[in-house]
Amino acid sequence: MKYLVVLLVVAFTVLGCKEEVIEEPENLIPENKMTELLYDLAVLNGAKATNPGILKDNDIETMPYLFNKYKIDSLQFVQSDVYYASKPLIYQRMYKEVLSRLETKADKMEEDRKRKADSIKEANKKVKDTLAPKVLKSDTSTD
């Protein structure tokens, strides 16, 4: 009997916690679209932090740009963000996806940077090799 009472108390407690703290907004941004938006927001904030002039030179203001790109308004964004934040597992999944995409992008950019550096280094070697004999010839002909 004691076991049954404890089980019922636990069941009511768990079921009672299912109440929505934040109701789903009518104009909720779908999870995949919100994840895309958060990724773009992270990229733009990274660009602003590392090279503030790049956004200014291109007349890009982060939030208005994103609102226009995703055809949403600030209220819709805030309501959706608050809603997803009230769902920690969903929010965490979204941010893990954003982080994964950022890491993949960073790895690709690093590979591209290394490839460019290697090709520049190789090109400089070739230039030095082709210039060396000419410099020697001109030095010996002036004597």
Does the pTM of the predicted model rise above 0.85? no
pLDDT attached to residue 4: 46
Residue with tokens 């290697």: 118
pLDDT at 118 over 50: yes
pLDDT attached to residue 117: 83
Banded pLDDT at 123 (limits 50, 70, 90):
confident
Please write the tens of the pLDDT for every residue from 99-112.
999 999 999 999 99
Please write the tens of the pLDDT for every residue from 7-66.
555 555 555 555 568 899 999 999 999 999 999 999 999 999 999 898 889 999 999 999
Q: How far is CA 112 from CA 54, 105, 115, in A?
A: 20, 11, 5
| Tokens (6 digits) for 110 | 């690093």
DSSP 51: -
| Tokens (6 digits) for 125 | 């070697």
* b/e burial code for range 24-58 (CB count within 10 A of at least 16 → b): eeeeebebeebbbbbbbbbebeebeeeeeeebeee
